[in-house]
Amino acid sequence: MSAANSVPLEIVEEEEIMNKEDVLNYLIAIGVNTCNRSYDTAHKQMKESFLAMPLKEIAPSWDHLDDAVKISVINNHIDEFKAWVSGK
């Protein structure tokens, strides 16, 4: 191979690897987001089970949830949300 045909190599920075907990929380959010858009009965039940979980268990996935799912979480936990907003 001649120097005229060679392509210069590019240095690519390594991407930061997510820790196990972050991966699991991201995958949970992907699953719930998918279930939220599904007409399948099992998916709807899975979403409802997720929404019924305590907020402290939902919180780690919050940043990756679709806005529609976030609204459903708030609606499902409206009393806790109102208490938090009012400082009670």
Query: Which tens digits make up the pLDDT trace of 1-18?
Result: 555 678 888 877 777 788
- pTM score over 0.85: no
Is 1 part of a structural domain of the chain?
Answer: no
Domain count, the chain: 1
Q: Give pLDDT < 70 ranges for the chain.
A: 1-4
Packing angle between helix 67-76 and helix 41-51, nearest 10 degrees? 60
Which residues are within 8 A (CB) of 29 and not within 5 positions of it... i.e. 6 or more apart?
61, 63, 64, 65, 69
Is 2 part of a structural domain of the chain?
Answer: no
| pLDDT score, position 1 | 52
Q: Which domain holds residue 65?
A: 17-86
Token output for 77: 């936990």
Is 26 part of a structural domain of the chain?
Answer: yes
Is 35 part of a structural domain of the chain?
Answer: yes
Is 4 part of a structural domain of the chain?
Answer: no
| pLDDT score, position 5 | 73
Cα separation values, 19 from 13, 53, 60, Å: 18, 23, 13
